[in-house]
Amino acid sequence: MKRRGIVVVGSSNTDMIVRLERIPQPGETLLGGEFLMAAGGKGANQAVGAARAGGRVSLVARVGEDMFGRQAIAGLRRDRIDVSRVRRDARSASGVALIFVGERGENSIAVASGANGRLRPADVKRAAPLIAAASVLLLQLEVPLDSVQAAARLARRHAARVILNPAPARALPDALLRQVSILTPNETEAGTLTGTRVGSEQAARRAAGLLRARGVETVIVTLGARGALLVGQEGSRLIPGFAVQAVDTTGAGDIFNGALAVALAEERPLAQAVRFANAAAALSVTRRGAQPSAPTRERIDRLLARS
């Protein structure tokens, strides 16, 4: 029997979003904003993005024993995500993200990690049967690095594909990168990982080459509205994005990664999988919030069919 499941190991937050004319400068107060509270966290966002795109998804995470934790779990269940490995932590509050969004869709985010910072390798070990049976493991960096590394090692031991979205950006050890099947940085993250400035497609291609030299099989540098640069054993290729009117870019990278995991679990060729992910991410920026903006499979297929 073919393995089609997706396991996400990562964070769950509550996003508190203020939409303003522009993002405030340090020391500046802006009035007249609009407030929205929504489920977020990169791990939970990717799990929801994958589930709505048609994936069978399990999440490994920690939340607090508080109102935010209860709401997060209830929301994940509504999207038919397996939350059997989401642990309620009595010692820490649930994670919270404070987000400013400007009129042009740009955002600025501050995160209080809370229970996310207490996700342990032991939590990953308890999820070993899920990971062993999965086709794709999806990781990010809003939980402790030792837990990320434990999950990657376990997945590779069971021949699951490992996708690492290296966000928030930080230096990473080669021992982890060698476990990664597909690395999905944006331009800023690619620059942080390589110590270079990535401001063009050519620079992104060079950075991807440096990352592949450190052991990553395939690098996909996301380029916003321009699409995504796919760099692997067969060379490099720009997969164009989709023209949409951006309202809020919060969570677009997470939706891209969730949809990418679905397409790969369905055994689509890599270039087709990236196009599918580009479509999902494009649709997500046309609506507000991270998880609320995750498109359904029907919307993704409709955009692909008419483009």
Enumerate the active-site residues. Answer: 254
Structural tokens at position 149: 């590394």
Answer whether 60's CB lies under 8 Å from 44's CB.
no
Instruction: For residue 50, give the amino acid letter.
Output: A
- Going from the C-alpha of 211 to that of each of 153, 184, 194, 246, 253, the distances in angstroms are 19, 11, 7, 30, 19
Task: Give the Cα separation of 149 and 213 in Å (integer).
Answer: 19
Residues 6+ apart with CB under 8 A from 186: 167, 221, 222, 223, 224, 253
Task: Give the Cα separation of 3 and 285 in Å (integer).
Answer: 31
Considering Cα of 144, then 16, then 251, then 110, what sign does the dihedral take? negative
Whose structure tokens read 């309620």? 88
CB hemisphere CA count around 247 (13 angstroms): 10
3-state secondary structure 249-301: CCCHHHHHHHHHHHHHHCCCCHHHHHHHHHHHHHHHCCCCCCHHHCCCHHHHH
Residues 6+ apart with CB under 8 A from 87: 61, 62, 63, 123
Considering Cα of 270, then 272, then 275, then 276, what sign does the dihedral take? negative
